[in-house]
């Protein structure tokens, strides 16, 4: 009903919206050491101050919640909708080429800079949507609140602080993902596992194995040191396994020991099929070598049986499952250390809605215990689901279709968003899933037309839910 007015409004205000995004990008807001009044350090606090100044200039009602988050209200009526975004960013490297990370550059219809896509650009699209509704003077019976946090990238303690003080709105979306609507987020179960034994000096033996650095990243590197085995034997095993594993192996002899490395392909733990896991490949290769029979080697073989290379569905571990709404389980064995007297591993599972403690955690615990290994964490993180046929989701899809001309649909993901623990919260935009914005990487950018279109969609949603 208000599409023509919104089109005209954003055509007139696009330049100011872009400048507001650039203002925020100029502030390095990765998490830093806390200071008084700055719970996540100086950068996030400065970004929040800048956003509040923008909100006051817009005529929105601004409230500071202890510098954890700030809220921006269209009016003082009962809340009908919350829009939840964040101003903190991930750290930067020195491999940027288009511009420096915190020196925004507008070129070829894009804004380059850290946070342009995640999540300063979308945050400003939400604020400008709220301002548009206010400026157009369209009567509302409910309030829309934009909530901007400062700790999403490092654990979301900002939002826990806010919701300890305020109730949830009847509906919440976060423009911190892809369009159309992410209404299902899988649960997760991650844990370490350990085993120990007495040193066995029989040769050949494995002196050490090390690979992976974070449980939610498919590792692209693993290393091992062997003793009492011929280099030719190791190389033969490497060549035989490389084509099957998709991982390259390199071995050299030095000071009577074999130094072995595996080079795979990194990926996010929620999409393990996109990578080539160097840890699982290394473990499987080692079990193929003619090592002396020892308790440590038997434990290594047990690890391989539970987490064989290429099995990201949890089949060997006995936890393979899926459901129609959220899809299939994924399991990533991502961190491993092995010594002469013990081992420690970590895995990260993204589990469908049908998973529970009995069919997931207890099954893995039994498999570990039978092999003399101990599972650490016993707590599962449940999945999140807002039904696709709910009026809220149908409103989001209708507004998306109205402004994009594309068919809307609901999507399930293995990762978690800002709204994972909100009863009626989903992720909605701003990114086009067909565009690689280099989020978290060098030369991050946002497409200006995509951000402006998102702001129009968000304004339409506000009018639909609060008018």
Spatial CB neighbours of 453, under 8 Å, sequence gap ≥ 6: 403, 404
Could you confirm whether 78 is annotated as catalytic?
no
Of the candidates 214, 156, 123, 120, which has an alpha carbon nearest to the alpha carbon of residue 40? 156
3-state secondary structure of 135: helix
446 within 8 A of 111, measured Cβ to Cβ? yes
173 within 8 A of 419, measured Cβ to Cβ? yes
Residue 173 structure tokens = 């979306």
Of the candidates 80, 103, 87, which has an alpha carbon nearest to the alpha carbon of residue 31? 87
Could you confirm whether 152 is annotated as catalytic?
yes
Spatial CB neighbours of 195, under 8 Å, sequence gap ≥ 6: 299, 342, 343, 371, 372, 373, 374
3-state secondary structure of 144: strand
Q: What is the CA radius of gyration of the chain?
A: 25
Residues across the chain: 467
Catalytic member of 20, 30, 151, 152: 152
Catalytic member of 20, 73, 88, 348: 88
CA distance 22 to 25: 5
Structural element, H or E, at residue 17:
helix 3-25
Distance of CA 115 to the CA centre of its chain: 15
Q: Which residue has the tokens 């089949």?
A: 315
Distance of CA 76 to the CA centre of its chain: 34
Structural element, H or E, at residue 84:
strand 79-86
Catalytic site positions: 88, 152
């Amino acid at each position: 009903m208000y599409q023509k007015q919104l089109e005209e409004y954003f055509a007139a205000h696009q330049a100011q919206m872009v400048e507001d995004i650039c203002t925020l990008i100029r502030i390095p807001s990765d998490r830093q050491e806390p200071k008084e009044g700055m719970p996540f350090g100086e950068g996030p606090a400065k970004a929040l101050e800048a956003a509040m100044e923008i909100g006051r200039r817009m005529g929105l009602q601004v409230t500071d919640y202890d510098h954890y988050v700030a809220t921006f209200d269209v009016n003082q009526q009962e809340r009908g909708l919350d829009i939840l975004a964040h101003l903190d960013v991930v750290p930067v490297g020195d491999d940027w080429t288009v511009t420096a990370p915190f020196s925004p550059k507008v070129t070829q219809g894009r804004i380059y800079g850290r946070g342009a896509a995640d999540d300063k650009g979308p945050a400003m699209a939400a604020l400008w949507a709220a301002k548009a509704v206010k400026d157009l003077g369209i009567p509302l019976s409910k309030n829309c609140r934009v909530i901007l946090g400062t700790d999403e990238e490092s654990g979301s303690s900002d939002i826990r602080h806010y919701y300890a003080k305020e109730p949830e709105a009847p509906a919440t979306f976060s423009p911190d993902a892809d369009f159309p609507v992410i209404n299902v987020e899988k649960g997760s179960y991650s844990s370490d596992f350990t085993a120990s034994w007495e040193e066995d000096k029989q040769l050949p033996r494995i002196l050490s194995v090390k690979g992976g650095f974070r449980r939610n990243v498919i590792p692209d590197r693993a290393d091992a040191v062997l003793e009492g085995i011929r280099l030719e034997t190791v190389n033969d095993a490497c060549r035989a396994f490389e084509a099957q594993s998709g991982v390259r192996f390199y071995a050299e002899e030095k000071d009577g020991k074999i130094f072995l490395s595996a080079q795979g392909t990194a990926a996010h733990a929620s999409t393990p099929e996109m990578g080539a896991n160097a840890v699982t490949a290394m473990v499987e290769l080692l079990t193929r070598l003619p090592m002396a029979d020892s308790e440590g080697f038997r434990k290594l073989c047990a690890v391989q049986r539970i987490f064989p290379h290429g099995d990201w569905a949890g089949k060997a571990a006995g936890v393979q499952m899926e459901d129609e709404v959220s899809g299939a389980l994924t399991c990533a064995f991502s961190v491993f250390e092995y010594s002469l007297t013990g081992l420690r591993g970590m895995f990260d599972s993204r589990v469908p809605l049908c998973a529970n403690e009995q069919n997931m955690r207890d099954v893995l615990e039994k498999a570990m215990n039978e092999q003399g290994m101990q599972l650490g964490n016993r707590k599962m993180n449940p999945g999140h689901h807002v039904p696709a046929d709910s009026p809220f989701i149908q409103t989001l899809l209708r507004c998306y279709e109205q402004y994009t001309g594309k068919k809307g649909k609901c999507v399930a993901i293995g990762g978690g968003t800002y709204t994972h623990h909100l009863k009626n919260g989903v992720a909605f935009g701003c990114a086009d899933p067909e565009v690689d914005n280099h989020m978290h990487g060098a030369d991050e950018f946002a497409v200006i037309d995509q951000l402006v279109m998102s702001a129009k969609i968000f304004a339409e949603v506000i009018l639909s839910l609060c008018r």
